[in-house]
A and B are shown apart, each in its own frame.
Chain A
Amino acid sequence: MKPACGPAPLAKNMSENDVILGIDLGTTFSLVAYADEAGPRVIRDDSGDGRVPSVLSFAPDGRVTIGWEARRHAVENPEHTVYSVKRLMGLGIADLQKEMPFLAFRVVPGQRDTVKIDINGELLTPQEISALILRELRNRAERHFGRQMNKAVITVPAYFDDSQRQATRDAGVLAGLEVVRIVNEPTAAALAYGIGIRRPAAGKGAPMSLPVGDKSKCTGGAPAASPGAADGEVIAVYDLGGGTFDVSLLRLTGDLFEVLSTHGDTHLGGDDFDRCIISMVRREVSQQFGFNIDSPATRQALRTFSEEVKIRLGEQDRATIELDLGEGRRYARTISRGEFEAMIGGLVDRTIASCRQALADAKLPPEAVAQVVLVGGSSRVPLVRRRVEAFFGRKPYMALNPDEVVALGAAVQGQILSGRRTDALLLDVTPLSLGIETLGGAMGKLILRNTRIPCQASEMFTTFVDGQTSVKINVLQGERELAADCRSLATFDLRGIPPMPAGIPKIEVQFLIDANGILNVSARELRSGVETSIQVIPSHGLTRDEVKRIEEESIRFARQDMTAHRLIDLRNQVEFDTHKTEQALALHGHRLSPEQRTALEEGIRVLRDLVKKTDDADKLHRALDEFGKATLDLANLAITEALRGEGGGRTGKEKVRT
């Protein structure tokens, strides 16, 4: 055995410009970042905001608006506005029964156990919707770099199962991205935290010249561990986002990031806090006035103002909710922070239970945690902070921007994968046990949760009937004993087994979980040495053929992105937006200050002027974005409009105040 190894560069054909983007595809907001020698940074819009709301608005002509613009028009256009699509990724209709009453858009069953979103009769998968968000982020990055960008690291909640990860990766493919890696959000956050408190990347090929705490520890040719104030310290990343919750425990040793354990809930986040308020309002309106408020427009409006109430209660002790439901029927109440906290207490308890489980799996007491890093917008809720602090017995670390840290970490991971940061190493785990359905419907575990990835396991199978040439395997993920209580990832149909008497074939199936946390399966019949072909039928996702078909179709759509078409779209958009704004001004303008009114009128004039003068689509896009932001207050006034007429379509003077 003579391995011809030398110190040749790892990636020969990698150009200097081969940046791998870091994308945080969030429930509420998505961000795109990149990292260079100066460190990771988020790509922002002209107003300095890195966040793109994960909201899409579909116009009747098929045009799609994404981001702030879509978010603002959500109430006017409730059935054609899609939000929180991350909560639908990799799931079936049965999984979403609790979700449905809160969605203003239509969700229908798709192939096998999947869902589709019905927009004016056009059915889109959650993967396609997510791909549109990814495309928007990609466009933002391309404007920033002035060239094509096609590689990305995309983050997912650590507790995402295989189907949800696959769905995310498929979304990336549909957006024309090469998804170099799927990274767990808390792990990405830890990476940003660990790198951030230490130093920026060493330049390409730069020697690791940093002082080492204790060199004597590093023998056996191990690369020296780099500084790190407290080597080997354990940190907890508590990540509560819009729709998902994760907690991960990591050991940080120099530039080594070892995930010890992770736990979470892929349906627990800020959305659920909002829903507590929504349910309260619905219940009380129904008690007081004897009717239900439940039109799509109301769902959307309630969602918007509940979020505001929640944010307000983070800053002050009480908030007022007033709904004028027409005909003198007025729902009004104040809600105290205490009441709100009582409503969400059970949800926060669930996150703490997850923390306890993660510690138990890592075999650590809470005191062993040297730092608690808070991530995700919902970690701003005061009750969350208090409970986390009480549980771990220490003040959480809050110097990081909880909205941006995941994207920053993803960018650092992109830098590692592009070969430009050679010092850091990330070792992650699989969040859920993997197994197969055995005879009698039990779950036979092959890989336990919190096993370090990549990992593999193999299992022998045989046939039951003479001459049988195929075997079906139901692959499961979960912690329960019965197959029915676990999640079926896919059915693997092993084909091409040479015909033999029953029980004679020895089919070795290898289950390999890669560094993305995604399962790869291969099989071989040992007696004949024949590699069996495997047809994968995903339970909650797209087959390879389906992804390919959608991809081909989307090339058609992609052509529409070409400049000429884009310019036409943008001009139409300007016309539409300015007209809409004029209408809104006429209706609600009196409630704005004279300065605000003048500014908006001026904005309309400037924008119309620009349309006549420029052919620069990017410039127009930015101006439109700016204009959109300026109309925010006016749009909020329009939200209240949506509640008018609830309760039998009667009109009345409406008012929603938070």
Chain B
Amino acid sequence: MTDVALTAMPAKCNTCEMLAQAPLVCVDCHQLLAHVQGADYFELFGLPRRFDIDASELSRKYLAISRNIHPDKFASAGNEMQSFALRASAAINKAFSVLADAHQRAEYLLERSGGKSAAEDKRVPQDLLARVMMFREEIEEAKASGDRAALDAMRGDVSAQKRRLHEVIAELCARIDGGEASVKDELRMQLNAVKYLDNLLAQL
């Protein structure tokens, strides 16, 4: 049921409109739940499916939906309705947390376009490992000698690299709808690379 509904999803989804605007009362909750749980996250919030999103618009829509489906609003409703509100809220919370985070958002776009998961494809850009190794040594040296200035500089450096990676990722995400395997593979590698930089930042 959901598959059909998903592939034929209108640009502006009635359910989402309704979620955002009116309290949920006596809807066909099973159908609605199936929709919320299976829906495309962007669709759910009525946002265009792309990497660059308006964060404030996302959180506004998230809150508008939450106001209508949060379990607090159904405390005196029947069990079925309560269970629906619970599951729908959990699904909305999940969708929001993924879209609100740039990295998870890119991962999600990749997943939805049929790209490989991090577990399936662990490759990273060629020069990355060497760079990371070098950084690690420098971090250890700086830590050993208590060189705070050097650590600060490195933190700035790694953060800047991460920002550049995000630009690359944004650019790849913009091209992902073309369906080219090379774009997806490249995106997978860059996303893997971010994890390495995050680990470095954690050490700093």
- A221 close to B (CB within 8 Å): yes
- Nearest chain B residue, comparing its CB with the CB of A429: B93
Residues of B within 8 A of A220 (CB): 20, 46, 57, 60-61, 64
Can you pick out 23 interface pairs between chain A and chain B where the beta carbons lie within 8 Å of each other? Answer: A1-B14, A1-B15, A1-B31, A1-B32, A3-B28, A3-B31, A4-B26, A5-B24, A7-B22, A11-B76, A14-B76, A180-B75, A220-B57, A220-B64, A222-B60, A222-B61, A418-B75, A426-B72, A451-B93, A454-B71, A456-B90, A456-B94, A515-B70
Q: Given A220-B64, A223-B67, verify A5-B26 contact (CB < 8 Å).
A: yes
Q: Given A222-B63, A256-B63, A452-B93, verify A7-B23 contact (CB < 8 Å).
A: yes
Bound Cα distance A256, B76 (Å): 21
Q: Smallest distance from the beta carbon of B17 to chain A beta carbons, Å?
A: 7
Residues of A within 8 A of B56 (CB): 217
Q: Given A11-B76, A456-B94, verify A218-B60 contact (CB < 8 Å).
A: yes
Residues of B within 8 A of A416 (CB): 72
Which of A4, A223, A426, A514 is close to B86, meaning CB atoms less than 8 Å apart? A514
Interface residues of A in 492-528 (CB under 8 A from B): 512-515
**Beta-carbon contact of B28 and A425 below 8 Å:** no
Instruction: Report whether over half of chain B's contact residues are helix, strand or loop; otherwise say mixed.
Output: helix
**Beta-carbon contact of B76 and A1 below 8 Å:** no
Q: Shortest 3 CB-CB distances between A and B: which pairs? A: A222-B64, A11-B76, A417-B75
- A13 close to B (CB within 8 Å): yes
**Beta-carbon contact of A217 and B60 below 8 Å:** yes
Residues of B within 8 A of A652 (CB): none
Residues of A within 8 A of B91 (CB): 456
Q: Given A222-B60, A256-B63, A454-B90, verify A3-B15 contact (CB < 8 Å).
A: yes
Residues of A within 8 A of B64 (CB): 220-223
**Beta-carbon contact of A3 and B27 below 8 Å:** yes
**Beta-carbon contact of A454 and B76 below 8 Å:** no
Kindly count the residue-residue contacts between A and B in the assembled complex, taking CB atoms under 8 Å apart: 122
Which of A11, A181, A221, A413 is close to B77, meaning CB atoms less than 8 Å apart? A11
- A212 close to B (CB within 8 Å): no
Residues of A within 8 A of B24 (CB): 3, 5
Q: Smallest distance from the beta carbon of A531 to chain B beta carbons, Å?
A: 14
**Beta-carbon contact of A456 and B31 below 8 Å:** no
Q: Smallest distance from the beta carbon of B106 to chain A beta carbons, Å?
A: 19
Interface residues of B in 65-104 (CB under 8 A from A): 66-67, 70-77, 86-87, 89-91, 93-94, 96-97
- A427 close to B (CB within 8 Å): yes
Given A452-B96, A455-B94, 10 further pairs, Cβ under 8 A: A2-B28, A3-B15, A3-B28, A8-B25, A10-B77, A419-B73, A451-B93, A452-B93, A454-B87, A454-B90
Q: Smallest distance from the beta carbon of B13 to chain A beta carbons, Å?
A: 9
Which of B31, B67, B87 is close to A512, meaning CB atoms less than 8 Å apart? B87
- B5 close to A (CB within 8 Å): yes
Residues of A within 8 A of B27 (CB): 3-5
**Beta-carbon contact of A515 and B28 below 8 Å:** no
Q: Smallest distance from the beta carbon of A259 to chain B beta carbons, Å?
A: 12
- B35 close to A (CB within 8 Å): yes
Bound Cα distance A18, B76 (Å): 10
Residues of B within 8 A of A13 (CB): 76
Residues of B within 8 A of A276 (CB): none
What interface size band does chain B fall in? 35 or more
Bound Cα distance A617, B15 (Å): 57
**Beta-carbon contact of B86 and A454 below 8 Å:** yes
Q: Mark B22-59 against chain A: 1 for CB-CB distance below 8 A, else 0.
A: 11111110011001000000000010000000001100
- B204 close to A (CB within 8 Å): no
Q: Smallest distance from the beta carbon of B156 to chain A beta carbons, Å?
A: 17
Residues of B within 8 A of A181 (CB): 72, 75
Q: Mark A471-504 against chain B: 1 for CB-CB distance below 8 A, else 0.
A: 0000000000000000000000000000000000
Interface residues of B in 1-20 (CB under 8 A from A): 5, 14-15, 17-18, 20
- Nearest chain B residue, comparing its CB with the CB of A516: B71
- A6 close to B (CB within 8 Å): yes
Residues of B within 8 A of A418 (CB): 75-76
**Beta-carbon contact of B97 and A451 below 8 Å:** yes
- A453 close to B (CB within 8 Å): yes
- Nearest chain A residue, comparing its CB with the CB of B76: A11
- B161 close to A (CB within 8 Å): no
Q: Smallest distance from the beta carbon of A601 to chain B beta carbons, Å?
A: 52
Q: Smallest distance from the beta carbon of A311 to chain B beta carbons, Å?
A: 38
Bound Cα distance A221, B62 (Å): 11
**Beta-carbon contact of B77 and A3 below 8 Å:** no
**Beta-carbon contact of B90 and A512 below 8 Å:** yes
Residues of B within 8 A of A514 (CB): 71, 86
Bound Cα distance A14, B78 (Å): 12
- B21 close to A (CB within 8 Å): yes
Residues of B within 8 A of A426 (CB): 72
Residues of B within 8 A of A3 (CB): 14-15, 18, 24, 27-28, 31-32
**Beta-carbon contact of A221 and B20 below 8 Å:** yes
Q: Smallest distance from the beta carbon of A154 to chain B beta carbons, Å?
A: 14
Which of B5, B22, B74 is close to A5, meaning CB atoms less than 8 Å apart? B22
Interface residues of A in 1-44 (CB under 8 A from B): 1-8, 10-11, 13-14, 18
Bound Cα distance A256, B66 (Å): 10
Q: Smallest distance from the beta carbon of A609 to chain B beta carbons, Å?
A: 47
Q: Smallest distance from the beta carbon of B37 to chain A beta carbons, Å?
A: 9
Residues of A within 8 A of B97 (CB): 451-452
**Beta-carbon contact of B87 and A6 below 8 Å:** no
- A288 close to B (CB within 8 Å): no
